[in-house]
Amino acid sequence: MQKPNSYRSGPDDQGHFGIYGGRYVAETLMPLILELEEAYRSAKDDPAFAAEMDGFMRDFVGRPSPLYFAERMSEHFGGAQIWFKREELNHTGAHKINNCIGQILLARRMGKKRIIAETGAGQHGVATATVAARFGLPCVIYMGEVDIERQRPNVFRMKLLGAEVVAVKSGSRTLKDALNEALRDWVTNVEDTFYIIGTAAGPHPYPELVRDFQSVIGREAKAQMMQRLGRLPDTLVACIGGGSNAIGLFHPFLDDEGVELVAVEAAGRGIETGEHAASIAAGRPGVLHGNRTYLLQDDDGQIVEAHSISAGLDYPGIGPEHAWLNDIGRARYVPATDEEALEAFQLCSRLEGIIPALESCHALAEVAKMAPKLPKEHIILVNLSGRGDKDIFTVAEALGVSL
Amino acid sequence: MKQTRIDRRFAELAAAKRAGLVTFTMAGDPDPETSFRILQGLPAAGADLIELGMPFTDPMADGPAIQAAGLRALDAGMTLRKTLEMVRRFRKQDDTTPLILMGYYNPVYSYGVPAFLDDAAAAGVDGLIIVDLPSEEDPELCLPAMEKNINFIRLATPTTDDARLPAVLNNASGFVYYVSFTGITGAAALDTQAVGEAVTRLKRHTQLPIAVGFGIKTPEQAAAVARHADAAVVGSALIARLADAPDRDTAISAVLDLVKALADGVRNARRDG
């Protein structure tokens, strides 16, 4: 494959990153997606939109999020320096709010009156319910029945924030089915509804706009690294389900070719067991939820259910820009199992006094593998994308502790 | 493109001065043999054109009835290859009734577009309706299908405004499928007046026949649509009959009985203009 002049120029006019991306939606939604694209283009060029966004990011979300040296974890592994980008300190406890602020400001600009969203772990649902409350818009969150069971604290949070949480009983009753149900709502309520997609996937322009709203992570990290250490990190590590925290961290660094990019997929009970969510490691290109990307599917092109202990990674696909970055070799996609994530969960809690989200623990699990083998000068920057309070029931159960 | 069975059938319907009935059932629902027996019985029961669903795990534009039908079919071991085999078997006994495969893109993409089109053409498929391929993605399947003389049926919806219609109709052939409301299959009630206005609007933009679907459940509704459109499409209502039946034989007769009643409704409807 020919090397592009810049890795940051995608997508093209049709929403493609290489062969990935696109707009594979029902005709009913097509005019809405074109309208969204136009609205986004005009917002992007409007300094007033950027100023409004910056204001909410500072005063409501609490940005910039700190850059933190994980000293005891670095000592523990005895190799590379480990730094965290503390996205878990954002309002609502994860990176998801960055994108929600951007999309709800866009929704208001477009005069939309009703907000819908899908959620897996509930972090995006909570973030969406939060911004909907802040701007006084009614909000419906679609969540798989299975996820509702394992993320009860977040379900209650969403309700407190005034959102209606709809239990999705179709298919595997997890994130992919919540997305199907949100699309069914959108196709029904085309006039007044804005769909806040939570990850850098879906039909164009969603992968682009979610990436842009999340890129604040990488832009801040870059500036903070330069200010603190006078240099860029050597390796960036982020967990990946759909891939919004990973692309948010990676994108501003894509053209800094000395910076290695590592994204960690959920290997669940192990790739070999078939019970995982590693679409790059074990999937192949297909079309689902509006875009072409790597998907877990059988020989007949039927979508296979994903598995991960972390509800936020439990999705059989991945954002299209990641599919492309994988194929051209700019980023590396590696797996981490449930067990490895659980180990990282406990280690980080004890060593750093930070309880990380199970999603982010996949990134930490990869750090545990690479850090000991690297020299002290090597700087690893991990996206600590969310906090783990929501996961305590799941973790307790996995560890055989009754609460 | 050369004339397809779809073109010939609509020409016959126009000559007979009546609208047609289009039925939708899911290949493999509730099992491959039962669904074949239903398919086999459709022309005699009065189906003028047949849409056969290709089951998919994630049917984003479908309501609960068709979602469940797809999952029943997949649970019974249905695959795209077996769906094509079912069409081939059907063609041995019926060489005139148009057959259109309807579904989502991923199983076709997974099969491989060139191989799929070769096998579909050889099996006797006349048209394709792929819900998640809007005109923006025409190079994927629409253009290659036209080269194989398979009609790629366009969906037009209430959100497809006059500015967008020309793009949607650009590579249309066979007929245009008008989705009568914004929503999923089997949902809202039918507004026949709005349907009449929509068909009139579409006719200003295309010479192709217009079939109207989504929300038609009864012979009366089918007749009401037939007064405006060139064909009425019924799917969820047939599938609900099948799902409610206590056993396979009853399911077959229940579906075919409803097709007969719908066909009577359509045939007796007085056409406007």
Domain boundaries, chain B: 5-267
Cross-strand partners of A387: A356
**Contact predicate B268/B222, CB 8 Å:** no
pLDDT, one tens digit for every residue, chain A (403 residues): 556 689 999 999 999 999 999 999 999 999 999 999 999 999 999 999 999 999 999 999 999 999 999 999 999 999 999 999 999 999 999 999 999 999 999 999 999 999 999 998 899 999 999 999 999 999 999 999 988 987 888 999 999 999 999 999 988 888 899 999 999 999 999 999 999 999 999 999 999 999 999 999 999 999 999 999 999 999 999 999 999 999 999 999 999 999 999 999 999 999 999 999 999 999 999 999 999 999 999 999 999 999 999 988 989 999 999 999 999 999 999 999 999 999 999 999 999 999 999 999 999 999 999 999 999 999 999 999 999 998 999 999 999 999 8
Residue whose tokens read 């009959």: B241
Of A27, A187, A301, the CB nearest to B184: A187
Look at A23 and B134 and tell me if their CB atoms are within 8 Å: yes
Please, which pLDDT band fits residue B166 given cuts at 50, 70 and 90?
very high
Taking only residues 77 to 106 of chain B, the set having a beta carbon closer than 8 angstroms to any beta carbon of chain A reads 79-81, 104-106
Of A26, A171, A177, the CB nearest to B131: A26
What's the token pair of residue B111?
């099969």
Q: Which residues of B166-181 are buried (b: 16+ CB within 10 A; e: fewer)?
A: eebbeebbbbbbbbbb
Q: What angle do CA B12, B13, B18 make, to 5 degrees?
A: 150
What's the token pair of residue A365?
């699990």
CA pair distance A360, A345, nearest whole angstrom:
9
Active-site residue among B7, B29, B62, B126?
A: B62
- Beta strands A284-288; A290-295: pairing state: antiparallel
Of A24, A31, A301, the CB nearest to B132: A24
What is the distance in angstroms between the Cα of B97 and the nearest Cα belonging to chain A? 27
Taking the Cβ of residue B162 and every Cβ of chain A, the question of whether any pair is shorter than 8 Å is answered with no
Q: Calculate mean pLDDT across residues B201-210.
A: 97
Could you tell me the CA-to-CA distances from A355 to A82, A158, A350, B229 in Å, in that order?
Answer: 16, 21, 8, 62
What's the token pair of residue A371?
């850090």
Please enumerate in sequence order all residues whose Cβ is within 8 A of that of A344, keeping only pairs 6 or more positions apart, or say none: A336, A356, A361, A362, A364, A365, A367, A368
**Contact predicate A90/A97, CB 8 Å:** yes
What are the chain A neighbours of B164 within 8 Å (beta carbons)? Answer: 30-31
* Per-residue pLDDT at A3: 63
pLDDT per residue as tens digits for the range B29-52 = 999 999 999 999 999 999 999 999
Q: Calculate mean pLDDT across residues B130-156.
A: 97
Chain B residue whose CA is closest to A169: B64
Q: How far is CA A174 from the centre of its chain?
A: 16
CA pair distance B86, B106, nearest whole angstrom:
20
| Interface-testing mutation among A28, A170, A183, A204, with chain B (most B C-beta atoms within 10 A) | A28
Please, which pLDDT band fits residue B209 given cuts at 50, 70 and 90?
very high
CA pair distance B258, B262, nearest whole angstrom:
6
| Interface-testing mutation among B79, B84, B106, with chain A (most A C-beta atoms within 10 A) | B106
User: How many other C-beta atoms are found inside a 10 Å radius of the C-beta of residue B64?
Assistant: 18
Taking one residue from A and the other from B, the number of pairs with CB-CB distance under 8 angstroms is 121
Catalytic residue status for B137: no
A292, containing H or E segment: strand A290-295
Amino acid at A185: D
What are the chain A neighbours of B156 within 8 Å (beta carbons)? Answer: 27
What is the distance in angstroms between the Cα of B26 and the nearest Cα belonging to chain A? 15
What is the distance in angstroms between the Cα of A132 and the nearest Cα belonging to chain B? 24
DSSP state of B96: S
Q: What angle do CA A143, A214, A59 make, to 5 degrees?
A: 95
* Per-residue pLDDT at A150: 78
DSSP state of B204: H
* Per-residue pLDDT at A171: 81
Please, which pLDDT band fits residue B273 given cuts at 50, 70 and 90?
very low
- Beta strands A16-17; A284-288: pairing state: unpaired
Residue whose tokens read 């929403």: A15
What is the distance in angstroms between the Cα of A288 and the nearest Cα belonging to chain B? 7
Taking only residues 173 to 192 of chain B, the set having a beta carbon closer than 8 angstroms to any beta carbon of chain A reads 179, 182-184, 187-188
For the domain B5-267, what is the CATH code?
A: 3.20.20.70
What are the chain B neighbours of A23 within 8 Å (beta carbons)? Answer: 134, 136-137
- Beta strands B154-156; A193-195: pairing state: unpaired
Of B58, B67, B132, the CB nearest to A176: B58
Please enumerate in sequence order all residues whose Cβ is within 8 A of that of B214, keeping only pairs 6 or more positions apart, or say none: B179, B180, B181, B183, B185, B186, B187, B188, B233
B212, containing H or E segment: strand B210-213
User: Strand, coil or helix: what is B162?
Assistant: coil
Please, which pLDDT band fits residue B271 given cuts at 50, 70 and 90?
low
User: How many other C-beta atoms are found inside a 10 Å radius of the C-beta of residue B15?
Assistant: 8
CA pair distance B69, B48, nearest whole angstrom:
22
| Interface-testing mutation among A24, A166, A204, A304, with chain B (most B C-beta atoms within 10 A) | A24
How high does pLDDT run on average in chain B?
A: 96
Look at A302 and B136 and tell me if their CB atoms are within 8 Å: no
CA pair distance A133, B196, nearest whole angstrom:
41
Active site residues of A: 96, 118, 385
Which residue, A331, A382, A378, A333, is CA-closest to A361? A382
A394, containing H or E segment: helix A392-398
Taking the Cβ of residue B109 and every Cβ of chain A, the question of whether any pair is shorter than 8 Å is answered with yes
pLDDT per residue as tens digits for the range A109-159 = 999 999 999 998 899 999 999 999 999 999 999 999 988 987 888 999 999
Chain A interface with B: residues with Cβ < 8 Å:
14, 22-32, 170-171, 176-177, 180, 183-184, 187-190, 286-290, 292, 295, 297, 299-303
Residue whose tokens read 């979300």: A61
* Per-residue pLDDT at B272: 52
Of A27, A188, A292, the CB nearest to B183: A188
Q: Is B269 left (phi over 0), alpha (psi -120 to 50) or beta?
A: beta
What are the chain A neighbours of B58 within 8 Å (beta carbons)? Answer: 171, 176-177, 180, 288-289, 303
Chain A residue whose CA is closest to B109: A286
What is the Cα Rg of chain A in Å? 19
User: How many other C-beta atoms are found inside a 10 Å radius of the C-beta of residue A336?
Assistant: 27
What is the distance in angstroms between the Cα of A180 and the nearest Cα belonging to chain B? 5
DSSP state of A390: G
| Interface-testing mutation among B60, B152, B168, with chain A (most A C-beta atoms within 10 A) | B60
Is the bond leading into A64 cis (omega within 30 degrees of zero)? Answer: yes
B248, containing H or E segment: helix B248-268
What are the chain A neighbours of B188 within 8 Å (beta carbons)? Answer: 188
Chain B residue whose CA is closest to A304: B57
What are the chain B neighbours of A29 within 8 Å (beta carbons)? Answer: 159
Look at B110 and A286 and tell me if their CB atoms are within 8 Å: yes
